[in-house]
Structure 1
């Protein structure tokens, strides 16, 4: 295949990337043949995955819109992937807000390079290469410090990423590390794969594909997701199925039995 000019030469484009597979599920164009092939393998056993990805993106839109309505103007999107198809800066622009700042953070070199190309002429945005699993390292990045004023509330977005962090890396401590950097009035926005029932055979097949991928997936129940948020104060309606967090009527809920993720927004008091 022809290598795009923005793709780093040392990145193997024949190896699927979680960020680019997700972009494929969303109907985006920022993915490669290996990403599409992996995505199609998953979709062949569980076609609902694409709808679930769109439901997750709709949750991101609703959460960002709600926090912007409350006056939050700083968003740190951790494990952001490729910022296309309804991402944070687009939601804010659609709300008519022109003084917000958004920092996208990802460790995938292709996602970072592509994000920088996409956002080169977008004011109020920045892209940082960093591993969300190390809050201290991410928060210390000069560009993060330049763009985000940590004396004012910040929204830390951990959307569809912590299910790639195993228990031994203490995901609750990761959440706490970011929350500790925010002043009162800061928020954590979180969504996560998992469910409170046994997997169906199709779900088990899709799950095993991700378990064997370069970025294995970890499923967690709603109670386990709530525990990740520690002593932060949950906004209503708490930890719920992703599509059920303050639905606005402009999306179809997943078919019965297909709600395999949960979401929540929590505030630091």
Structure 2
């Protein structure tokens, strides 16, 4: 999971050290505004540890949020919880993910095309995923055959899929995703149960400029691994009706 530092470091290379420091200081200061809500206790109880505000991981994630959530300059990262769960179930998930990474890399004749991607949902769904992993969705959402995750530059799309909790926060999952060879999925992917052939490993809305990574339920257990929970305060969006908010996510 520490690989996030190596991959997301590319984000920070576009900014000077002074700019990164200013963003980090501003966001860290905002953490004092909101006291730890009950959901944080649930995260910690399930092996997700709140990471230090001064850590490199925090700085990189906060910088990425600042760069990719410019619709609201007041948006703040309130807390980041890292998956440190050593239970047998999470060890199995981590092992399955590693095995799948190697298998997809071998099949593709090179790399497995892993990426970090955002997943936004209601707090109730976030809690279930934290407790049971993404496989929970296969039972709870029988009419949905895949999930959609957002590339880093389209963080806003996942923010818009999230909901505000009783503390005024939105919670996003930062996941490691094995994309492998992708097939273009046109329109609504809800009717597609799996890749169209064994040649493909995941779906995408646009190969050249992806806005949506699609992972089918049949591959959730070994293609998506939850690394961080990022809790945000995005006050700009709170005053908009849903239709207006959704239109914001499709500009640019």
**TM-score w.r.t. structure 2 length?**
0.26
Higher relative contact order (CA 8 A, sep 6+): 2
